[in-house]
Structure 1
Amino acid sequence: MSEPLESTAILGPLILASGSPRRAQWLEALRIPFQKQAPDVDETPLLDEPASDMVLRLSELKAEVVSRQNPGRWVLAADTTVALDEHVLGKPESVDDAVRMLMLLQGRVHQVHTGLCLRRDGEVHSFVDTAEVRFRPLTESQARWYAGTGEPMDKAGAYAIQGIGALFVANVQGSFATVMGLPVERLSERLERLGLLGLWLGIPRG
């Protein structure tokens, strides 16, 4: 039997190029060994840049920055945004801004785009996954109450579907994990195709 080209020791754990606790929680749940290294990149959207293009560009940029600092290691980066009619809704700058965003979303369907990039040196695998989320109708007083909890303040689109914000979601079409910032279904498929699940977890290749 031939020896494998790489071992877990040589491969090293995955490097998560993100400071997001939710993405780290997903990897912990999947038992994928990883280290965190949040990149410092300019996340300003380009002029007239579509939301899906923006998250792909930023995920690739984050992966590139961290990969340069860690030659030979696999790096995972992601970027998520909320879009309504192709208008990007970033993180609110104030409570009033959060209320404004929530009132835009209430009673309507919006898109959540997550760009993901796996990179090792010059080898790059990237894609965008999109889910559609329908909000229940909200009153301004309900939106202001939610904004006052503080939960929306560091979230794209001013809500957290894994928290109190779930109370305002009518339904989701697509991956719930994508809305949370890491499309684990497509990620696991890509990791298996690259043979990384076997190396990190001992799962036989299909």
Structure 2
Amino acid sequence: MIYLASASPRRQELLRQLGVEFDVMPSNIHEVRAAGESPAQYVARVAGDKARRVAQWVRERGLPAHPVLGADTEVVIDGEILGKPENAAHGMDMLRRLAGRTHEVLSAVCVWHREKEYTALSTSRVTFRPLTPAEIEQYWKTGEPRDKAGAYAIQGRAAAFIAKLEGSYSGVMGLPLYELDEILRKIGTDGI
């Protein structure tokens, strides 16, 4: 049993897929990149901030001391974190930037357990095929990219855009399961 410090349906789906029991406790932290913070430092810090916030709530409420899982995923191109699209123009601009190019997806997990923090980072490289303006507009109109980092979902229609993936499919989806399993084994659970 773990507490999931996220409301992400994708993270919940991945945990369910593997039979991990969890309670959803979104951290609702404000995610802002600090000056001078690299994309990798940023995703690791945000994952840790989420886990620590929920661990504090668990202590304050006297809930059972299960591990707390925080995670963050960001799409990075040309050293810039794209984030989630603010509107249609922003989202379609992101897709234009990704089209025909390779970008990184950084996905960090942090498990807070017994006053200790365990963090791991997954780095994947994703190559999009070239996209036409009509394809980008049509994809945006599906609604799928609206709340996704980099304005796409690898597990959805955007799978057809991906010419090559080097790294973790589940990491690009939002929760790197290999890294999570390694942490759970380290803290003495049976892993996934």
Kindly, what percent of the aligned residue pairs are identical?
Answer: 40
CA distance in 2, matches of 1:58, 1:131: 18
Asked if 1:193 corresponds to 2:186, the answer is yes
CA distance in 2, matches of 1:114, 1:53: 11
Q: Which residue pairs with 2:44 in the alignment? A: 56
Count of residue pairs the alignment pairs up: 187
Match of 1:97 among 87, 90, 100: 90
Q: Deviations over 1:73-119 (max 9, x none)?
A: 31001000000021010111111111100000000000000111000
Asked if 1:82 corresponds to 2:70, the answer is no
Contact between 1:67 and 1:121, CA under 8 Å: does it hold in 2? no
CA distance in 1, matches of 2:28, 2:91: 25
CA distance in 2, matches of 1:195, 1:57: 24
CA RMSD of aligned residues (A): 1.3
Contact between 1:80 and 1:181, CA under 8 Å: does it hold in 2? yes
Contact between 1:67 and 1:119, CA under 8 Å: does it hold in 2? yes
Q: Deviations over 1:7-40 (max 9, x none)?
A: xxxxxx2101100111111111111111110012
**Structure 2 unaligned regions, length at least 5:** 60-64
> Aligned to 1:54, what secondary structure does the other structure show?
helix
CA drift at 1:120: 1.9
- TM alignment of 1:1-206, pairs within 5 A: 13-71=1-59, 72-197=65-190
- TM-score, normalising length from structure 1? 0.87
CA drift at 1:174: 0.5
Q: Which amino acid aligns with 1:134?
A: T
CA distance in 2, matches of 1:114, 1:172: 14
CA distance in 2, matches of 1:74, 1:193: 12
Q: Deviations over 1:42-81 (max 9, x none)?
A: 1022224221111101000000000011133310010000
Distance change in 2, residues 1:142/1:48 (3 Å): farther
Q: Which amino acid aligns with 2:45?
A: R
**Structure 1 unaligned regions, length at least 5:** 1-12, 202-206
CA distance in 2, matches of 1:100, 1:178: 23
- TM-score, normalising length from structure 2? 0.93
> Which structure has the larger Rg?
1
CA drift at 1:152: 0.6
> Aligned to 2:170, what secondary structure does the other structure show?
helix
